[in-house]
Amino acid sequence: MEVFFFGPTSSQLLGIYHPASSERDRYQGIVMCYPFGQEYMRAHRAFRQLANTLADNGYHVLRFDYRGTGDSAGELQDVSASDWVEDIGFAVQELKDMAGVYGISLLGLRLGALLAGVAAADRRDLNRLVVWDPVVSGRSHIRELMDKVKSVVPHKRQSNFVDRQGNLHFNGFPLSPAMQRSLGELDLRQTTPGADQILQIASHENEEFESLADRWSELEGFEYRHTPAEHDWNYVDHVGGILLPQPVLREISGWM
């Protein structure tokens, strides 16, 4: 595993590279797209485990932090969803350059799946796209977060609130008004990913997952899999509990 920075000088991104097993090298790359906020923290170990498994199976894997998040450069209040989609493009090019791979796949969870799907719509060089428990609509996602904010009991200590500048704080992670607007413009059902094969994997069922599956079922190479597993990505406890939905991890690595 190699940790490094890449991308434009003004917005350096943290990357974690997992080289393919030399004995199984497929000369194929996978860029993994994290979710945001508390979901990033809950998913970190699952992403690392999945990256190691995929590397052992012969894939070159790159995990990275979007600008304004994790250890990447920039301030969260200064970035938009389009910046994060652009960051995925930087990650794809970096993996191509450093690993010399012939093909690239994108794999995203929750908000990362929404961003990956949008990024895939502008490309024609992707082998595969995996969207795992995707945020299907940025607008409905923001509405869901707002509803949760409104449901907070007033007399209890609040970690979720909207401040005077309109920043939406959810589990301690702020979304600026500009970020909320830019996310609200994204909807996977309005995209046509440029990937040869597409997997939508759902750990549970809901109407938005089904509506996306209905829309993408028209695409050649699309597959929907319902793999029941834990999915409480925004759960917060006092020790920063992780989530390792092994059935989904096995399903994804097997499909790849």
pLDDT at 214 over 60: yes
CA distance 237 to 157: 15
Q: Span 226-240, mean pLDDT?
A: 80
Domain 2-255: CATH architecture, name and number where available? 3-Layer(aba) Sandwich (3.40)
| Residue 170 confidence (pLDDT) | 83
User: Which amino acid does the sequence have at 77?
Assistant: Q
For residue 188, give both structure tokens.
Answer: 């996977």
SS3 of residue 92 by DSSP: helix
pLDDT at 237 over 70: no
| Residue 160 confidence (pLDDT) | 58
Per-residue confidence band for 167, with pLDDT thresholds at 50, 70 and 90:
confident
DSSP 129: E
30-46 as b/e: b if 16+ CB within 10 A: bbbbbbbbbbbbbbbeb
Closest CA to 132 of 50, 241, 252: 252
Closest CA to 225 of 105, 128, 133: 133
pLDDT at 239 over 60: no
Radius of gyration of the chain (CA): 18
- Bridge partners (DSSP) listed for residue 209: none
Q: Is the pTM of this model over 0.75?
A: yes
CA distance 179 to 24: 41
Per-residue confidence band for 235, with pLDDT thresholds at 50, 70 and 90:
confident
Count Cα neighbours of 211 within 13 Å in the Cβ-side half-sphere.
11
